[in-house]
Amino acid sequence: MSTTPAPADELIVLGKIFSVHGVRGEVKVYSFTDPLDNVLDYTRWTLKRDNEVKQVEVASGRVHGKVLVVKLKGLVDREVARTYAGFDICVPRSELPDLDEDEFYWHQLEGLNVINQDGQLLGRIDHLLETGANDVMVVKPCAGSLDERERLLPYTEQCVQAIDLEAGEMRVEWDADF
């Protein structure tokens, strides 16, 4: 495995270090994976914060409530671990497992044009939110969109009719007045 970080456009954010845990240099991690401990499947992380980039290796990790407590190799001091807070945890896109044909990673959906059943361009997917009940797509207006409204659409089978990554669009069942 290379110690050279992947190019920035090839990195996918899987979580964030937000605090320290204990006195032995462990860090608390909020994971964006489902289940949350899947981020531990990647033993080498690229940490990014602003223009700062670090390569680290995971020694161990465990679920602690709704977060993870992670031990990074060589990190043994609480005060040094505190300096890691705020770093995004990234891995190269090429390391993500392949998905089934009808499954998508969030990063694949971001940037898709959203077109409703009437052929109206509602906007472009800016990002997605996890709400508990279902994921929600934040659709922001773009050049050529129907209006200047931001819309929140559920990422459900009832709403999403088709996804064409090559064409860069998603077809949805969604009234323009919602």
Query: What percent of the chain lies above the pLDDT cut of 70?
Result: 95
Q: Which amino acid makes up residue 97?
A: P
Domain stop point among 94, 117, 147: 94
Q: Are strands 169-172 and 160-164 parallel, antiparallel or unpaired?
A: antiparallel
Q: Does residue 155 sit within a domain?
A: yes
Instruction: Give pLDDT, residue 2.
Output: 42
Quick one: average pLDDT of 28-53?
94
CB neighbour class for 52 (10 Å; exposed up to 12, middle 13-18, buried from 19): exposed
Quick one: average pLDDT of 71-94?
96
Tokens read off for 131: 């709400």
Confidence bin at 30 (pLDDT 50/70/90): very high
Confidence bin at 25 (pLDDT 50/70/90): very high
Residues 85 and 160 placed together within one structural domain of the fold: no
Q: Does residue 122 sit within a domain?
A: yes
For the whole model, what pTM was predicted? 0.76
Domain stop point among 63, 94, 125: 94
The CATH number assigned to the domain holding 83 equals 2.40.30.60
pLDDT digit string (tens) for 92-148?
999 999 889 889 998 899 999 999 999 999 999 999 988 878 899 999 999 999 999
Q: Does residue 101 sit within a domain?
A: no
Sheet with strand 121-130: strands edge to edge: 151-154, 135-140, 121-130, 113-116, 169-172, 160-164
Q: Is the pLDDT of residue 1 over 60?
A: no
Residue-averaged pLDDT of the chain? 93
Instruction: Give pLDDT, residue 119.
Output: 97
Q: Is the pLDDT of residue 168 over 60?
A: yes
Residues 113 and 51 placed together within one structural domain of the fold: no
Q: Which domain holds residue 44?
A: 8-94
Q: Is the pLDDT of residue 22 over 50?
A: yes
How many structural domains are present in the chain? Answer: 2
Residues 112 and 156 placed together within one structural domain of the fold: yes
Residues 78 and 145 placed together within one structural domain of the fold: no
Quote the radius of gyration of the chain (alpha carbons, Å): 19
Residues 111 and 167 placed together within one structural domain of the fold: yes
